[in-house]
Chain A
Amino acid sequence: MTFTRGVSIKRWFDLAWSGLLWGLMILFVVNVALMIAAVATNSFARRWLGTWLPEGWTTQWYTAAWKEFQLDSILMVTAQVVLAVVLLSLLIGVPAAYTLARRNFPGKRLLLLLFLLPLMVPPITYGIPMATVLYQVQLAGTIYGVILANLIPAAPFVILVMTPFIEQIDPNLESAARVFGAGTLRMFWYVLVPLLGPGILAASLLVLVRTIAMFELTFLTAGADSQTLVVALYYAVFAAGVRAPQSVDAMAMVYMAVTLAWLLIALRFVNPTQLVSRVKENPQPA
């Protein structure tokens, strides 16, 4: 008798516990969704004061935001920065990842620590001394400064993502290429790069999504004509008193559309957990 009652109390407790967890999760997701919906509604609102829904709908805020914030040039700068960061971080990161995956050498652990640090230390902490140096050499305030600053977390990130992809490629393939007389460069280009295709794609998409959303480093190094979308959004919210809140929200929607579009593309090729941590599971072979 007492035994069955003990079991039923336990089952009741388990049920309550998982109900609580699911409840918290749903509360979180619903509130985030409503937050995004509020921005979207406001960006299309004609007048919206203290009612559930606005009095009328309009798209005028998008044209207003496009003109006010000069979104075309901002989007252009964002595209240039992101493209440069992705290409350069691959160019720097993939060869380094190759050596780290294949070779053992004295000082390897120290080097790994060096590549891990920028992902552990938050951007604001190292960004301020770095921006100071970039201002000394007069690179800050230009698009080149923004690209260099964004490469600091991007290049080590590529190394961390690529290393497991390289580790699972059979070294015999490289030996075979060498037997047939391929030099390091030809071996790299004709054997490794095609085999690493999925890994390179994953790494570049992850860097791309992270660079679009990277606020702090861009904020610290950007000048008036080298702002990316997220920094322009910050200034728009910061000076919110001057402009209509709907127009700021329209800008936020443009930012959200750009980020989410690339996120959706990225999620076709990578696991969501890869955005926050290094690859744990074995990557799919080519």
Chain B
Amino acid sequence: MTAVSHHASREAVKDDKNMTTASHAAPRAWFDPALWLVVPAAAFMALLFIYPFLYGLALSFAPKEGDWLANYTHFFTTDNLWPTIATTLKLALPATLINVGVALPIAFKMRAKSRHQRWVTTILVIPITLGTVLIAEGLLTYLGPKGWLSQFLQYFHLYDAPIRLTHNYWGVLLSLIISGFPFAFLLILSYITGIDPVLARAASTLGADSRSQFRHIYLPLLAPGLAMCFCLSFVQAFSVFPSAVLLGSPAGPTRVISIAAYEAAFEVYDYSLASAIAMIMGFVQLVIVAAVLALRGVFYRGPVTGGKG
């Protein structure tokens, strides 16, 4: 009923507009004037998002010297450039798997709207808003050789050797978990609460316990959301930058691809090579995202709310 009235009133608005435009010099009656409202946003995005991207793509094929593919051959034949892909994947894939894998059961457990759901979501949003730079500085203080964690482990004789969690791979992985886990959790929670609980209730009247509800109702319905969450978490982890510099060892085991791109642009001032690295980075992300989304196609697709019938 509302849909009909909406439709009717929309028609009315349109008629009204047509009349006003017709009373003027009638500039193309088929063009809805409301479309002008979207023009600034579209023009802005075209100018600052699409154009730079295409410019970067073109620039990457116009190297300072050599033929048109010189940047790409340089990337794949230089010893401190091409391994950055593997280095980044080695950080991003485990971090994403841990984040999504742990967030899923916890979010499932908290799917019911309650007081502590509100509290947990509020607490978990804090590491996200603080951002990776602060997390890096915090972990340097907390995990450092004189930090509380090291003191705690030694005090209780859990681990007596000095711990090494900063300026290496583990520090960066931990920082990716601290910023990535809350993100994955909140995203999955918003997908799970979007699933109509009536479906699960129907299953439970037929005798399904919470585990089989999860397997047969929630998991299939969540598959698209999970795939999306995995992609977004992965893409964030893959572009790790500040913590890899501050908390890792940017010359060695955490020399990720964004460091290589940044150095090319702002230390060597070779924008052409930097654009090429950014394009390679985008391409690798695209491959992983495409693979995950293709995998998702195996699962159920359809509405996540129960019909009223």
Q: Which residues of A contact B (CB under 8 A)?
A: 14, 18, 21, 24-25, 28-29, 31-32, 34-36, 38-39, 42, 48-52, 91-93, 95-96, 98-100, 102-103, 105, 111, 114-115, 117-118, 120-126, 128-133, 135, 148-149, 151-152, 155-156, 159, 171-172, 174-175, 178-179, 184, 209, 213, 215-216, 219-220, 230, 233-234, 237-238, 240, 245, 248-249, 252, 255-256, 259-260, 263, 267, 271-273, 275-277, 280-281
Contact = CB atoms under 8 A, between A and B. Distances in A.
17 contacts: A18-B109, A24-B102, A32-B127, A34-B142, A35-B139, A38-B147, A99-B35, A99-B37, A126-B282, A132-B55, A133-B55, A155-B44, A174-B13, A175-B9, A215-B132, A273-B186, A273-B190
Top 3 nearest A-B pairs by Cβ distance? A129-B56, A122-B239, A96-B41
B73 interface: no
A245 B140 CA distance: 10
Contacts of B232: 120
- In this complex, the member of A32, A159, A280 whose beta carbon has the largest number of chain B beta carbons within 10 angstroms is A32
Interface string B32-64: 111101101110111011111101110100000
A93 B141 contact: no
B12 A130 contact: no
Given A96-B37, A130-B49, A159-B41, A275 B125 contact: yes
Contacts of A25: 106, 120
A24 B55 CA distance: 46
Given A132-B265, A220-B266, A233-B134, 6 more contacts: A35-B139, A38-B138, A115-B41, A124-B241, A128-B56, A156-B45
B105 A21 contact: yes
Contacts of B46: 114
Contact of B129 (A35, A122, A213): A213
A138 to B, nearest CB: 14
Contacts of A103: 32, 34-35
A254 to B, nearest CB: 11
Given A24-B102, A34-B142, A102 B40 contact: no
B242 interface: yes
A272 B41 contact: no
Interface residues on B, range: 35 or more
B137 A237 contact: yes
Given A38-B142, A128-B265, A233-B134, A32 B40 contact: no
Contacts, number: 259
Interface string B1-28: 0000110011011001000000000000
Contacts of B285: 121-122, 125
Contacts of B38: 95-96, 99-100, 111
Contact of A272 (B6, B121, B130): B121
B46 to A, nearest CB: 8
A237 B282 contact: no
A32 B126 contact: yes
B124 interface: yes
A152 B163 CA distance: 41
Given A98-B37, A151-B44, A42 B141 contact: yes
A277 B190 contact: yes
A196 B189 CA distance: 26
Given A121-B235, A272-B124, A130 B48 contact: yes
Contacts of A174: 13
Contact of B235 (A34, A120, A179, A255): A120
